[in-house]
Amino acid sequence: MRVTKLIKQFYFVESNRSKIILGTDVRLNPDTHKLQLKATAGQYPTTADLYAKTWVTNPNAVKKWVGFEPVVQNAKDYLGDDLTAVNYRLGDGTNEYYWDGVSWAISTTNWNTEEQIAANIDTFPVADKKIQVIMNLSTTDPAHTPYVESVKILYDAVIDFQEDLVVRSLMPKLRQEIRPIGDYPIKLGGTTNTIDLANDYKLDTPYNITDIDSVFNHTDDPDHFVDLFQSYNPTTKIITLSSSVDADKVVWIRFEYEPEVALTTSQEYHEISKIPAIYLTDVNEINRAQVGSNSHVSNKAAGTAVVIPSPIHKDIEITIRGVADSARNHVNLGGELERFFRNNPLLVSKGMDDEFRLWLLSEYDSRTTISQKGVHSGFLVIRIVKALYSRKRERTAYLVKQFKITLEKA
C-alpha cells in the first residue's frame, strides 16, 4: 500500500465565508482574508473563549493525520512577549477534543497550543475520516488582535487520483443528480384512479423510477393541460390519480428516473445490457502542468517540516455517451446531460475533499445510427479542470530557530 502525503488547507477567504462558523466577537475580514477579533469603538475584546470554526473536511483517502500548522500573526510588546494568542481544539463535526496530556478528551472549555496539537495529531481518531479545527482568538491588550490566515493539516493518504475523480466522485455525482424524464403511455384495462407499475402496467425497460413528474389522460387531453398526478408510493410503485380515468383510455405517464452509470471502453452498443444508461468512455489526461511552489507543514516544537513538492495539474477529458430505448427518451436523456453540465458544476473529490470545476466542451450529439436492436445513442465531451496529481515524494526539512551573529571590531 503506497502512502502519499497530502495537505488539507483551510483558507479564511471571503469565498469560504458561508462554510466558516464565527463565534461572538470574531470576524472574517473581507479585505485581509484573515480571522480576527471584532473591535468595538476601536477596542478589541479581552473576553475568554472567543472562537471560530473551520468547516468539517472529510477526505476519504486519509489513513492518518500527521501534521498541523496554522498561519498566524500575533502582536508582541517591546520585550518580545506575546500580547495575543491563538489556541486550538480538534473536532469531527459532532464532538470537540483537546489533548489532556494522555489522550484526546471531549471538551468545549479546554484549549491546546499549536505545539501540543502538532505533537499529538497523529493519534487523533481517523475512523470517520472527518476533522475540524476550532480556534480560540485572545488578547490581553485591547489595542491588538491576533490574525489567522489559514490552517494546514498534513495527512497520509492512499489514493489513485484519476480513479478518485472519475470513478469515486464523478460517477456517483451523475447517479445522484442526473434525473431525465421518461414517457410511458399505457392503455387502461379498466376504470381506475390508481396505476400499479409493479404488476398491472410493468415497464418493459427496467427503469429505476425515482419520482413521477405528471400523468395525463392522453385520449381526452392530448395537449396535456390537466395533470392528474396526486401521489406515488416508491415501495409499492403505485400511482394515485386525482380522479378516475375510464377503461380503454390512454394515460400518459411522465416519470423521473436514475439512469445506469458505468465506465466502459466499449462503443458497441448492442453489447450494453442495461438501458437507458450513461457510459463514460475515452478518459484522457491532457494539458499537464506543474504549478505553484512546494508546500510544507512545520512542527515548530520538533524543528522540522514536511515539504510536499508542487503538484501537477492535468485536465481530464471524458466522452459521456447516453443510450436509450426510444428516440423520445433519448432526447430527454441528452437534454438532461446538457442541462447538468452547462452550469459548470463543481466536482468534489471523495478522496481529497477538494473542489474541481466541470466544463462542457461539446453539446450532446445524437446524430448516431440506431442499432439493430433499436437502441438510440449520442455523446458529449466534458472536462475536469486542473485535476490534482501529487506524484513526487515528500522530504523532511529543518527549521531555522535562531541566527548567531558575530560582530568584529574594525
Q: Give the pLDDT score at 263.
A: 87
By C-alpha distance, which of 219, 204, 227 is closest to 251? 219
Q: Give the pLDDT score at 409.
A: 73
Q: Give the pLDDT score at 270.
A: 41
H, E, C per residue of 244-293: EECCCCEEEEEEEECCEEEECCCCCHHHCCCCCEEEEEEEEEEEEEECCC
Report residue 6 as a C-alpha cell: 497530502
Q: Give the pLDDT score at 370.
A: 61
Q: Which of helix, strand or coil describes residue 37? A: strand
For 257-298, the pLDDT digits (tens) are 999 999 875 444 444 556 788 999 889 999 888 776 788 898
Please name the helix (run of DSSP H) or strand (run of DSSP E) that holds residue 328, with its range, or none: helix 327-342
Please name the helix (run of DSSP H) or strand (run of DSSP E) that holds residue 338, with its range, or none: helix 327-342
The full set of domains in the chain, from first to last, is 4-157 (2.60.120.260), 161-178+260-395 (3.30.2000.10), 181-257 (no CATH)
Q: Give the pLDDT score at 193.
A: 96
Strand 277-290 and strand 260-263: the pairing is parallel
- Residue pair 83/139 in contact (Cβ under 8 Å)? The answer is yes
CA angle centred on 295, ends 350 and 121, rounded to 5°: 65
Report residue 203 as a C-alpha cell: 415497464
Ordered per-residue pLDDT tens for the chain, 410 residues: 688 999 999 999 999 999 999 999 999 999 999 999 999 999 999 999 999 999 999 999 999 999 999 999 999 988 888 899 999 999 999 999 999 999 999 999 999 999 999 999 999 999 999 999 999 999 999 999 999 999 999 999 999 999 999 999 999 999 999 999 999 999 999 999 999 999 989 887 778 899 999 999 999 999 999 999 999 999 999 999 999 999 999 999 999 999 999 987 544 444 455 678 899 988 999 988 877 678 889 888 888 888 888 888 899 999 999 988 888 888 899 999 999 999 889 999 999 999 999 999 999 988 766 655 668 889 999 999 998 887 778 888 887 767 677 777 76
What is the DSSP track for 346-383? EEE-TTT--EEEEEEEEEEE---PPPTT--EEEEEEEE
- Quote the pTM value: 0.85
Report residue 340 as a C-alpha cell: 447538468
By C-alpha distance, which of 364, 358, 321 is closest to 343? 358
For 60-111, the pLDDT digits (tens) are 999 999 999 999 999 998 888 889 999 999 999 999 999 999 999 999 999 9
**What values do phi and psi take at 123, rounded to 5?**
-105, 5
> Residue 160 contacts by C-beta under 8 Å, 6 or more apart in sequence?
none
Helices (H), 152-235: 161-165, 171-177
A 10 A CB-CB count for 373 gives: 10
